[in-house]
Chains A and B, each alone.
Chain A
Amino acid sequence: MSDTIEKVSIIVSKGSLEGVYPALIMANGARAEGIEANLFFTFFGLDAIHRKRIDHIKVATVGNPGMHMATMLGGLPGMSALATHLMERKMANLDIPPIHEFIEMIADTGAGLYACKASVDMFELTKDDFIDEVQEIITVGEFYERAAGGEIIFT
């Protein structure tokens, strides 16, 4: 077995800000190291490539102990938007791009972007609902074919 990683396929299953960013950072970081990378969006992760939703990805303020906030408080109207705004500002200061720009950049690095067919069918979506950078809607079997010979990371 090789002691270097040559290829990663990262599955994005969550549609929250904290669910999407780690996968994007890992995919982009892989390409920066010369590692081949694929992103496979499934379930709520599809929001991150959905034309109308990509610019509205929010932090989960309920059911997220990491927020260190009373659950009832986190459920107040506007709380998620506020927390998202604060976090986005912090990230902008660190020069971390917004999700939309980040995904466009990742596509430019030559990484593959795919949507999961089962989820697309379940949410009654079509390829037109996704940003142009998405190459294809693929089945789980096709995902494994593309992931062959590399590491698979589920987020």
Chain B
Amino acid sequence: MPTATISGVAVDVNDEGFFEQPDQWTEDMARELAAQEGIAELTDKHWQVIRFMRQEFAEKGTGPTVRVLGKTSGVTVKELYELFPKGPAKMAAKIAGIPKPRGCI
């Protein structure tokens, strides 16, 4: 299993850079992960999505799809794509330190 060093800590990631162990994640790491994804600054809205991703993962064992995010995170689909232009569910999962959500919708 590959490891990556984020905020000076070695963490387990998959080939695409998604966390394998969400409990290795800290909020400090999110800023560095976001910068790697081209997001210079995490706004409150970003954090709202990131916390929602982690909460969903903790409850359901999988990250939410964009549709679920749009319906239940309090951030609209339009805003989600502005916050995370390269795909909200995917980018937010990476920054939130959870595995990549699998789903077709």
Contact = CB atoms under 8 A, between A and B. Distances in A.
Q: Do A and B bind each other?
A: yes
B70 interface: yes
Contacts, number: 44
Interface residues of A, number: 14
Interface residues of B, number: 18
A97 B105 contact: yes
A110 B80 CA distance: 11
Given A28-B66, A96-B105, A108-B76, 18 more contacts: A25-B104, A28-B105, A29-B104, A31-B87, A32-B65, A32-B88, A32-B89, A33-B90, A34-B86, A34-B90, A34-B91, A95-B65, A95-B105, A97-B105, A105-B66, A105-B67, A108-B70, A109-B78
26 contacts: A25-B104, A25-B105, A28-B105, A29-B105, A31-B66, A32-B66, A32-B87, A32-B88, A32-B90, A33-B87, A34-B86, A34-B91, A95-B67, A95-B105, A96-B105, A97-B67, A97-B105, A105-B67, A105-B70, A105-B77, A108-B78, A109-B66, A109-B77, A109-B81, A110-B78, A110-B81
